[in-house]
Amino acid sequence: MDDEYKKKPMAREDKIALTVISVIGAVVVLVLLYALRVLLQISGIVIDASSDGIGFRSAFFASLGISFVFMIIFAFFAGDGVIGELGIMLTGFFVMIVFFTVSIALIL
């Protein structure tokens, strides 16, 4: 009965497919971010650092600090599970950076 639940190694074809899907996903995200920037420029929302308020560059640096503090807090409460969940922690870190950057730049 335990043989049914053993973890099987990933096949080579599956690794290749996962890599291709990951690369395509990354390209799609980059294209969407660029399209968002172009759309914001067309609609009149200026992304320049010389504009009034906080631009994306300043918001990015602020979001790095905020995301880092949140990751430290999450890792503190996660305990021993941090090492096993490192991939999820890094993904969450980058998602929070994008979220906080866009939120800070558009709101402030």
Q: Read off the DSSP letter of residue 48.
A: -
Tokens of 82: 């941090």
Work out the average pLDDT over 95-103: 89
Burial 43-66 (b: 16+ CB within 10 A, else e): eeeebeeeeeebbbeebbeebeeb
- Give CA 54 to chain center in angstroms: 21
Amino acid type, 5? Y
Amino acid type, 60? F
Q: What is the pLDDT of residues 3-22, one digit of tens each?
A: 666 777 777 888 888 889 99
Place of tokens 């973890």: 7
Write down the domain spans for the chain: 1-45, 47-108
Q: What is the pTM of this model?
A: 0.51
Query: What is the per-residue pLDDT for 50?
Result: 47
Backbone dihedral angles phi then psi of residue 11, each to the nearest 5 degrees = -70, 155
